[in-house]
Amino acid sequence: MAAVTQSLGALEGAAPPRRRQSSAWTGTVWRWVVLLIAAVYFLLPLAVAFRFAGIKAFGSVVSEDGFTSSLGLSVRLAVITTVITIVLMLPTTVYVHLRLPGIRRLMEGVTILPIVIPPVVLIVGVLQVAPGSLKGTPYLLALEYVVLAMPFAYRAIDAGLRSLDLKTVVEASNSLGAGWFSTMVRVILPNLRTALLSATVLTVALVLGEYTMASLDQYPTFPVWIYVNSQTSGRSRSRPRCSRCS
């Protein structure tokens, strides 16, 4: 009887690991399925583009007129926009979490407005408050892109702060004699590296891919150059006029 009881106990103890192994194997299979679907989704259009244009076309595009200048302008705008966005949104989000937690929902509503407001309205608003030295220069787009990047940067930083016991960390830093600047640089920033990286990637991607505002302002950023250049390549021969793209 004792032997039977021990055997049943051994079987009961062995069952959960088997179920865990089966569950882990199923989870691994589904992860690979999702990765394969995502790979096909992203790589198939690239493969079709290579087949349509040919590898030589992608190599020769670098020597096209305006490629270097437009790409350089977009990269400079991406750097400026990212710096301004992080400098503005990081202290604001930290202050809201520490001192004004009751207005988080209001901040979420305010920061979502650039997504629902038409770009033309945003351009007019930025022109009203922009310094006179920036008007007529392509760097005015940086201010417009800061407004567009605000929803993404705020949510990335907010998610990082929600995963951090911010109040305890700040109080501990203050109790050790650190000031606000030292606490921000040496305590908060190292704990928000992933969130800041997410905000940076989203901001850079937005700037490098934004077309509407740049085209309305007639500035030859990289997306505008791609569209203008595409009208003289491939099967299309009409070229839209752009006074600053030449």
Domain count, the chain: 2
pTM: 0.75
* Residue 235: inside a domain: no
* Residue 164: inside a domain: yes
> Which of 185, 210, 212 has its CA nearest to residue 196?
185
Distance CA 26, CA 31 (A): 9
* Residue 241: inside a domain: no
Distance CA 127, CA 130 (A): 5
pLDDT of residue 17: 58
Q: Say if residue 70 is in the same domain as residue 134.
A: yes
* Residue 36: inside a domain: yes
pLDDT of residue 152: 94
Q: Say if residue 202 is in the same domain as residue 80.
A: yes
Distance CA 43, CA 68 (A): 26
Q: Say if residue 99 is in the same domain as residue 35.
A: no
pLDDT of residue 52: 79
Q: Say if residue 113 is in the same domain as residue 47.
A: no
Residue 177, domain extent = 64-230
* Residue 97: inside a domain: yes
Q: What is the CATH classification number for the domain harbouring 218? A: 1.10.3720.10
What are the pLDDT tens digits along the chain (246 aa)? 444 444 444 444 444 556 666 667 777 888 899 999 999 998 998 888 778 777 777 677 778 888 999 999 999 999 999 999 999 999 999 999 999 989 999 999 999 999 888 888 888 888 788 887 888 888 989 989 999 999 999 999 999 999 988 889 898 988 988 888 899 989 999 999 999 999 999 999 999 999 988 988 889 999 999 888 877 765 444 444 555 554
Q: Say if residue 28 is in the same domain as residue 145.
A: no
Question: Which segments of the chain are extended strands (E)?
Answer: none
Sign of CA dihedral 100, 103, 105, 107: negative
pLDDT of residue 123: 83
The two three-digit tokens of residue 236, written as one number: 């299309």
Are 79 and 189 in contact by the 8 Å Cβ rule? The answer is no
